[in-house]
Amino acid sequence: MNHQALLFPELELEAKRYKNGNANKLDNEDASIHNWYRFVLSFPPHLVREYIRKFNLKSRETILDPFCGTGTTLVEAKLQGLHGIGIEANPMAYFASRIKTDFDIDPDILVDDSFRIAEKAESIIKHSDSKDLNSLTSEESSLLLRDSISPIPLHKTLILLNTINEFNSKFKNHQLLALATSTIKNASNLHFGPEVGVSKRKKLDADVIYDWIALIKSMANDIRYLEQQEYPPSHVYHGDSREMSPYLRPHSIDAVFTSPPYPNEKDYTRSTRLESVLLGFIKDKAGLREIKKSLLRSNSRNVYKGDDDDKYITNFPNIISIADEIENKRIKLNKTSGFEKMYHKITKLYFGGMARHLQEMKPYLKKNSLLGYVVGDQASYLQVHIPTGEIISDIAEHLGYSLISIDLFRTRFATVTKKEMREEVVVLEWKG
């Protein structure tokens, strides 16, 4: 199937600049705001800018990101003079998006308050008993990868966290976001592959206060630069993109640009687990389960009894065929784990969830609105190829959308299959 890409002549130079190896990298000039907190696999700001221009969006028009993650689309839209709306089910990512789109703060007060907090926390750390370290509860610790953070850095981080909460600055949420980022980058033992894991070399100590203040200063500098002009408001909602009626007004959306989870074995809550526990967004396994239930079903670790999104794709034989191929291969290979037995079901639940989302969104789109979905082909389920972009475009056309193009964003090498996998932007139009 060939699709004509929406490439404008003035974008050709920029497109050449971002060839495969650089396509998903964050440029130094884009680090402002975006680096306050960011998923390692987030799509880059330059991709959002490219499609804002391709979609010919005008100042103060509204762009929706229904899987907004850590806010790349929302931040870039705001910087480009657009009203952004985001929906995100992961509470840590939602928190990050909300804070990253809040530029209306006094950078000097942020820094002054933070230095007072740092001085008090430093004093508490200095006078604390080295044999009586602050730690998480056993239930909180059970939610983390083992050795996610060593005892001394954790002790210092918890003291700083308690001090931030007690001081209760006007800009406390910005300070907490800085704590989350500095902890992951500088105090934890985590590394991010595409998968999150624990490094063999552990950080037995870290300069927690210094690293946090350094990030606060960087945030303040970003805000000082942005004070030179006004920006339209952004709205971020903590919710499920398959049920958007509480957040959107009919016929209010000019465009959509987003990247839903990919159908693979990545548990997206693991990428934010440490900071989610530290900031109190997840307190126990029951709370984690409730978060996972609000997510699009994309991996075998968030499938639950009663899930029925697969009913939305009963009329799509190509999806059923792929699911059957996965199950037949599992049986042939005698793969019997509980997760492997879920592979065929999660494939149907994922695309059913996407169908449900696309159906749910139609009443909120303006006539002739354009939509971009960044998706990737997958082979996580016993190396059976899933052409995600083509399947989502088929679902969308069945629901009344028009397919404009499937644009190649980049390819990535899959170590399991030893093949290049496509990441694409599926461009749709809702003609109303």
Compute the Cα dihedral for 317, 320, 322, 327 and give only its sign: negative
Q: Which of 226, 246, 270 is the last residue of a domain?
A: 226
| Predicted pLDDT at 227 | 84
320/431 same-domain check = yes
Residue 158: HSE in the Cβ half-sphere, 13 Å Cα cutoff: 17
Q: What is the pLDDT of residues 397-418, one digit of tens each?
A: 999 999 999 999 888 877 767 7
Cβ–Cβ < 8 Å for 416, 363: no
Q: What is the pLDDT of residues 122-156, one digit of tens each?
A: 999 999 988 899 999 999 999 999 999 999 999 99
Is the predicted pLDDT of residue 264 greater than 60, yes or no? yes
**Spatial distance between the Cα atoms of 141 and 46, rounded to a whole number of angstroms:** 38
Q: What is the mean pLDDT of the chain?
A: 92
212/315 same-domain check = no
Q: What is the pLDDT confidence band of residue 1, given thresholds at 50, 70 and 90?
A: very low
| Predicted pLDDT at 16 | 46
Nearest to 206 by CA among 274, 275, 153, 130: 153
| Full domain range(s) for residue 143 | 107-226
| Predicted pLDDT at 12 | 44
Q: What average pLDDT does range 19-25 have in this prediction?
A: 65
Q: What is the pLDDT of residues 195-230, one digit of tens each?
A: 899 999 999 999 999 999 999 999 999 999 998 788
Q: Which of 226, 251, 280 is the last residue of a domain?
A: 226
**Spatial distance between the Cα atoms of 265 and 303, rounded to a whole number of angstroms:** 12
Which H helix or E strand runs over 276?
helix 273-278
Residue count of the chain, please give it: 432
In the chain, the N- to C-terminal Cα span, in Å, equals 25
219/319 same-domain check = no
309/425 same-domain check = yes
Cβ–Cβ < 8 Å for 399, 355: yes
Say how many domains are in the chain: 2
Q: Which of 226, 241, 256 is the last residue of a domain?
A: 226
Is the predicted pLDDT of residue 10 greater than 70, yes or no? no
Cβ-Cβ contacts under 8 Å for 190 (sequence gap 6 or more): 145, 148, 149, 184, 196, 197, 198, 199, 274
Is the predicted pLDDT of residue 299 greater than 60, yes or no? yes
| Predicted pLDDT at 416 | 67
| Predicted pLDDT at 14 | 46
Cβ–Cβ < 8 Å for 177, 96: yes
Residue 360 domain flag: yes
Cβ-Cβ contacts under 8 Å for 117 (sequence gap 6 or more): 160, 163, 164, 167, 169, 175
